[in-house]
Structure 1
Amino acid sequence: MSLQGRPKGEHGRAQPDGAPVTRGTLPGEMRRLAAGTLLAVWAALPLPAAAAVQATAAPAGAGAVAAIDAAATVWQALEKLDGALALRQLEDEAARWVRAGYDDPDGALRRLDELQQGVDAGLPLAWTRVLERTRGLVAARAGREAVAQEAAGRLLQMASRDPVAAADAAMVRAELDDQLWRIESAVGHALEADAAYARACTRDPRGSACDHRGWWHAIRLLAVRADRQGNRLEAARMQQRANELAQQADDDTLLAIGLSVQASFSAALNEPEKARREMAQAERHARKSRDGEAMVVVLLHESMLASLWPHGKGERQSLERALALARAMPSARWEAMVLAALSDEYLRAGRPREALAAVERALPVVRRFDDRRRVPVLLHNGGLARLRLGQAALGKADLEAAVRLWEQAQARARIELALNESADALADIGDAAAALDHFHRADRLRREIDDLNREAVLAQLKERFRTEASQRDLELAERENSLKTARLENQTLIQRVWMLASLVLALAAGVLVFQVRRTRQANRQLRHSEALLKVQSERDPLTGLANRRYFREALAARQPGRGEGFHGGLVLLDVDHFKRINDDYGHVAGDAVLVEVARRLEACVRSGDVACRWGGEEFLLHTPSQSPEAVEALALRVLAGIGQQPVRLPDGREIAVTMSMAYAAFPLAPHGVTLPWEQAVNLVDMGLYTAKAMGRDRAVGILAAEVADSAALHAAASDFERAMQQGRITARITARAG
């Protein structure tokens, strides 16, 4: 990326007729007017928002003269700099101006409007572009659509003379659309900005300079979009691109923010050690940065990841530091953001009253600024707190309002997490029907997100396998050439053997035996590698159990010639409160629980049964037996075998782990209706959610179905609870003894 500006002495300015002139030909009165107007406002750029407002309210006279004198001093200092250095300093000041406008957008826009008067004809084109982009960004982040669109239009008018202006215009529109939740349009403009910055900044534009911050924000918007959809792999990839850009520019502020975000992605992708390293790097860059907001962002992410290193800084400590920094800046919006995180921490600590108080302090602030990213978070946390305080009706209303707002943002990953949290809270207060509804909605979203992530993983695997296949083809060609060479040498040797004595013939025979042995050894190694690869592709790497792929192949092999009808027993089970285990003890403890559950599961099954990790904290058993009694005995044996002893964690602590499960023997009595195996799994999945809604640590056995065909059984399964009440499905619910 080129960051060069105009060479020294080439600060071309546009006269009214558009003809470029040099610094020496600009009329003296116009030059003084441009300098005074620009720097009288520019001098206030580093000030906090509150200080800027006070300066505006000061009476004219001595204060105004002092401001003009200070502006002239700064202008004279910039006059002595090389053009690229002066423009770079303006870029740095503009970035601080945008941050000041975060809390006082009206004051920032008012000062920028004053700055725009009389300077357009007296500034280099790149300087005018920076000021228009700054004005557009302040307006976009405040939701001022008319002002932002006007600034973007002016930037587009400059695009023919300054290619970076087109990228800046697209980036301003992307920020505006994201703020107003026009999601598809925001993504389109962010992609447009990314491509335009790449075109303008990878060559050597002599007439303009590239500021890495605009490009960084465009890429960051694409990462945020992928994260909202639950595509963490793509989000992490885009964030890595943004971090590399900040690294090239040696920008400690953006590196601190970007690395802390990257650490959150690494933790979500189950890479805790990588997350730890990235967070440590983020803290180092935040300390080097002079921007207090960078440290607030780092502390917020550090609080979210506190469970990954239990011996490090605590979550509350990080949030209290962040709150003190936000108040010291001062910034009402950053303080509200920290209060939102504190409300989440209070909820996890079982302190709903403090959580609700934090929400009620922060919500008016974010609503005043129309901050649509924060409103649903606060509504959701407030709804959970109200449920736990006995305000059920208000709590449910807040939870649904939060989900509706996230739906507008197409934030599927956040909705799925929120529905799981609200389902647990509703189950805790005894509202089983509402809890079951939230479980079902979360499950549908989880499947959509899993499909999206699966597609991303497959795309990456295909690319990797394509590269590895090319490498293998190259190695195979080299080996084939070596073999042909060896064969030619052997033929030459054989010809010589016929010409030499029996001693040479014996030597040739020895060489041939050696080659045969090497070929056989290579073939054995190849067969061993193929067998190892097959085993690895059929096993879950964490628990060692079979995976979904092996489960499908095993069913196909066991039931030849039976068409779509599934025969045998299914047991689907899920670890109770697994999210709480991860939150309270960390992801390393969660992995240890899954490994121990898998070990106990294997101890309960018999020869011929198939146990697999179905996904996340879910496990699935298949037994060839079609006897309902045998399947029920297996299910209850598993329920007791897993829950009767606590699980010892790697750090020596012990926690109680229980399971919820559902089971059935197919074809179902009394009519022997058959189903494809996928629908059979969906049926026991409905039973599993019923077990969770009824208090967990129990099994729901589907014993019979009064239906005539598979279509009627599928319809009954789609509304499992009503089918049970109407007697179309007969189930037995068994809580674990002890």
Structure 2
Amino acid sequence: MNESFAYLRSGDLVKGREAYQSAAKLNGDNVSERYKIILLKAESDVLLAEQNFESARQVANLCLRYPGVDKYTLQLGQCYLNRALANIGLNRDNFVFADLKRSSAMFDVVGTRSWKVLGLRTLAEYYDSRGDSENALRYFKLYYKGNKALLFDKRQSDIFLLEQEFATASLAQENELLNAEKELGELTLDKQQLRNRIVVALGIMVMISAALLLIRLRSIQKTNKELLKQSTRCELTGLYNRRYLEQRLTQPLPNHLSSFGYTLAILDLDRFKQVNDTYGHDIGDQVLVEVAKRLDQILSTNDVVARWGGEEFVLLLAGNQEPVKELELIRQAIADRPIETHSGQLELTTSIGATTHLTEQQLNSRTYKKHLKSADDALYQAKQSGRNKVVII
């Protein structure tokens, strides 16, 4: 399916469809629901590339209605995006922007800006190909602004709605007060006594409104925390993602009293591609989840591990013990014990490249990439020298 996507992006529709059909042959009762959802998304990609917009829309609908698709946020957003593109091809502009908004929200949740930007760029190129310069320019501008987060805007919007609701309730209370005063004059009741009752009622309503506002604000805060967690965690392994670690490395680190200093290491599973090619990506995902568990168990509280991409992990060790010893323990935790999978036990090793004894001043927004490059060079040496090794530069 990745091969099909690559061919379609390069304009080779024939090979793109052939690659998709090869992937479709693997579909069956023994594959995961995630595979079936990705396969539907890939089919709609092919149909869109072939400009078969009606069929692409129907397949995208199948993807969006597939049982359990809500668990796969990224694929759900991709299918919304494909349905929007199909409706553009069918000149159904009324149905486009709602799906674009949904897909954008999904991509924000998983921190997948590349798909969000791809959707905007695709729209811009589409309008440009039709000679609609105004809309093309509009979406090109949105494309270049696509990296801006929507979380703050959403929070501000919710607070604005709360303020509007509170203002409406206050106006309703004032109207009730005026009507009560009119009735007092007409019925010659004790105006002061009734006024006191109204004041008490108004106070109770204000207190209730304030309590409701507080409850709503706490709900918003809880939602924001959950969204932040989702945007900084790898959906598969539960580890921090690349986005989180890059933010961590651009911020001041705590003063370090240990003589070992900080260690920046890159861990790469040896011959992991053979696992995917031989057993399938579901087994590969099982391996990644188990490796993440072992790393999480062996690392100290102040250490940070993030899935950098694919089978590659980046570790920021806080120097709680001697770096060579700690990195060897990490290597042995993976190499010395087979990994249990649905296809049986798999024996895997890992290569680790690292740079050690770094100070907090050396790890900042201007220099951390240089040390990552050093760790990557060390990883290359570990791979070249036979794998299953730790190399420190």
Question: What residue number does 2:354 align with?
Answer: 663
Question: What residue number does 2:61 align with?
Answer: none
Pairing 1:260–2:21 present: yes
Distance in 1 of aligned mates of 2:336 and 2:296: 15
Question: What residue number does 1:608 align with?
Answer: 302
Question: What residue number does 1:423 align with?
Answer: none
Distance in 2 of aligned mates of 1:255 and 1:557: 43
Distance in 2 of aligned mates of 1:477 and 1:263: 48
Distance in 2 of aligned mates of 1:527 and 1:476: 11
AA at the equivalent of 1:488: L
Question: What residue number does 1:694 align with?
Answer: 385
Question: What residue number does 2:339 align with?
Answer: 647
Asked if the contact 1:611–1:622 (Cα under 8 Å) also holds between the matched residues in 2, the reply is yes
Question: What residue number does 1:685 align with?
Answer: 376
Pairing 1:551–2:312 present: no
Distance in 1 of aligned mates of 2:5 and 2:303: 40
Distance in 2 of aligned mates of 1:660 and 1:224: 27
Question: What residue number does 1:489 align with?
Answer: 172
Using the size of structure 2 for normalisation, the TM-score is 0.58
Asked if the contact 2:264–2:356 (Cα under 8 Å) also holds between the matched residues in 1, the reply is yes
AA at the equivalent of 2:330: V
How big is each residue's C-alpha offset from its partner over 1:371-403, in whole Å with a ceiling of 9 and x where there is no partner? xxxxxxxxxxxxxxxxxxxxxxxxxxxxxxxxx
Question: What residue number does 1:541 align with?
Answer: 235
Q: With CA pairs under 8 Å and 6+ residues apart, which has the higher RCO, 1 or 2?
A: 2
How big is each residue's C-alpha offset from its partner over 1:681-729, in whole Å with a ceiling of 9 and x where there is no partner? 1111111111112221121123xxxxxxxxxxxxxxxxxxxxxxxxxxx
Distance in 2 of aligned mates of 1:661 and 1:687: 8
Question: What residue number does 2:269 align with?
Answer: 575
AA at the equivalent of 1:537: S
Query: Larger Cα Rg: Structure 1 or Structure 2?
Result: 1
Distance in 1 of aligned mates of 2:309 and 2:228: 20
Relative distance call for 1:527 and 1:701 in structure 2 (3 A) is same
Question: What residue number does 1:529 align with?
Answer: 223
AA at the equivalent of 1:260: Q
Give the secondary structure class of the aligned counterpart of 1:573.
strand
5+ residue gaps, structure 2, are 28-32, 45-111, 121-144, 182-190
Relative distance call for 1:495 and 1:630 in structure 2 (3 A) is farther
Offset of residue 560 of structure 1: 7.5
AA at the equivalent of 2:331: L
How big is each residue's C-alpha offset from its partner over 1:345-391, in whole Å with a ceiling of 9 and x where there is no partner? xxxxxxxxxxxxxxxxxxxxxxxxxxxxxxxxxxxxxxxxxxxxxxx
Using the size of structure 1 for normalisation, the TM-score is 0.33
Relative distance call for 1:569 and 1:587 in structure 2 (3 A) is same
Give the secondary structure class of the aligned counterpart of 1:570.
strand
AA at the equivalent of 1:687: A
1:29-44 map, 5 Å? none
Distance in 2 of aligned mates of 1:225 and 1:259: 5
Offset of residue 476 of structure 1: 6.7
Distance in 2 of aligned mates of 1:255 and 1:552: 35
Distance in 1 of aligned mates of 2:243 and 2:149: 21
Could you tell me which of 314, 328, 340 is aligned with 1:620?
314
Asked if the contact 1:573–1:660 (Cα under 8 Å) also holds between the matched residues in 2, the reply is yes
Distance in 1 of aligned mates of 2:300 and 2:210: 45
Distance in 2 of aligned mates of 1:615 and 1:692: 18
Give the secondary structure class of the aligned counterpart of 1:571.
strand
Offset of residue 621 of structure 1: 1.1
Could you tell me which of 298, 323, 326 is aligned with 1:634?
326
Distance in 1 of aligned mates of 2:15 and 2:384: 45
Offset of residue 513 of structure 1: 1.9
Offset of residue 653 of structure 1: 1.5
1:254-653 map, 5 Å? 260=21, 272-276=35-39, 455=114, 457-460=116-119, 480-495=163-178, 500-559=194-253, 568-625=262-319, 630-649=322-341, 651=342, 653=344
Offset of residue 510 of structure 1: 2.5
AA at the equivalent of 2:218: R
Give the secondary structure class of the aligned counterpart of 2:300.
coil
Distance in 2 of aligned mates of 1:514 and 1:699: 63
Question: What residue number does 2:92 align with?
Answer: none
Relative distance call for 1:513 and 1:471 in structure 2 (3 A) is closer
AA at the equivalent of 1:491: E
Distance in 2 of aligned mates of 1:592 and 1:520: 43
Relative distance call for 1:484 and 1:677 in structure 2 (3 A) is same
Distance in 2 of aligned mates of 1:255 and 1:558: 47
Distance in 1 of aligned mates of 2:36 and 2:305: 30
1:72-151 map, 5 Å? none
Relative distance call for 1:278 and 1:531 in structure 2 (3 A) is closer
Give the secondary structure class of the aligned counterpart of 1:654.
strand
Give the secondary structure class of the aligned counterpart of 1:661.
strand
Give the secondary structure class of the aligned counterpart of 2:322.
helix
Asked if the contact 1:570–1:681 (Cα under 8 Å) also holds between the matched residues in 2, the reply is yes
Distance in 2 of aligned mates of 1:570 and 1:255: 40
Relative distance call for 1:618 and 1:632 in structure 2 (3 A) is same
How big is each residue's C-alpha offset from its partner over 1:661-692, in whole Å with a ceiling of 9 and x where there is no partner? 12231349xxx9x9922111111111111111
Give the secondary structure class of the aligned counterpart of 1:645.
coil
Relative distance call for 1:460 and 1:505 in structure 2 (3 A) is same
Give the secondary structure class of the aligned counterpart of 1:606.
coil
How big is each residue's C-alpha offset from its partner over 1:93-141, in whole Å with a ceiling of 9 and x where there is no partner? xxxxxxxxxxxxxxxxxxxxxxxxxxxxxxxxxxxxxxxxxxxxxxxxx
AA at the equivalent of 1:645: R
Asked if the contact 2:302–2:317 (Cα under 8 Å) also holds between the matched residues in 1, the reply is yes
Distance in 1 of aligned mates of 2:306 and 2:16: 42
Asked if the contact 1:543–1:595 (Cα under 8 Å) also holds between the matched residues in 2, the reply is yes
Alignment coverage as a number of residue pairs: 277
How big is each residue's C-alpha offset from its partner over 1:460-515, in whole Å with a ceiling of 9 and x where there is no partner? 48769899999988877665543332221122234456653544443333322221
Asked if the contact 2:352–2:378 (Cα under 8 Å) also holds between the matched residues in 1, the reply is yes
Identity of matched residues, %:
25
Question: What residue number does 1:293 align with?
Answer: none
Distance in 2 of aligned mates of 1:529 and 1:480: 19
AA at the equivalent of 1:601: L
How big is each residue's C-alpha offset from its partner over 1:144-195, in whole Å with a ceiling of 9 and x where there is no partner? xxxxxxxxxxxxxxxxxxxxxxxxxxxxxxxxxxxxxxxxxxxxxxxxxxxx
Offset of residue 607 of structure 1: 1.7
Root-mean-square deviation (CA), in Å? Answer: 4.5
Distance in 2 of aligned mates of 1:580 and 1:661: 19
How big is each residue's C-alpha offset from its partner over 1:502-538, in whole Å with a ceiling of 9 and x where there is no partner? 4444333332222111100011011111211222221
5+ residue gaps, structure 1, are 1-222, 243-252, 282-452, 703-738
Asked if the contact 1:631–1:664 (Cα under 8 Å) also holds between the matched residues in 2, the reply is no
Relative distance call for 1:477 and 1:604 in structure 2 (3 A) is closer
Distance in 1 of aligned mates of 2:266 and 2:288: 15
Relative distance call for 1:279 and 1:549 in structure 2 (3 A) is closer
Asked if the contact 2:305–2:315 (Cα under 8 Å) also holds between the matched residues in 1, the reply is yes
1:210-289 map, 5 Å? 227=6, 260=21, 272-276=35-39
Offset of residue 540 of structure 1: 1.3
Distance in 2 of aligned mates of 1:258 and 1:689: 32
Give the secondary structure class of the aligned counterpart of 2:235.
coil
How big is each residue's C-alpha offset from its partner over 1:566-613, in whole Å with a ceiling of 9 and x where there is no partner? x62122110111100001110011111111101100111112111111
Asked if the contact 2:351–2:390 (Cα under 8 Å) also holds between the matched residues in 1, the reply is yes
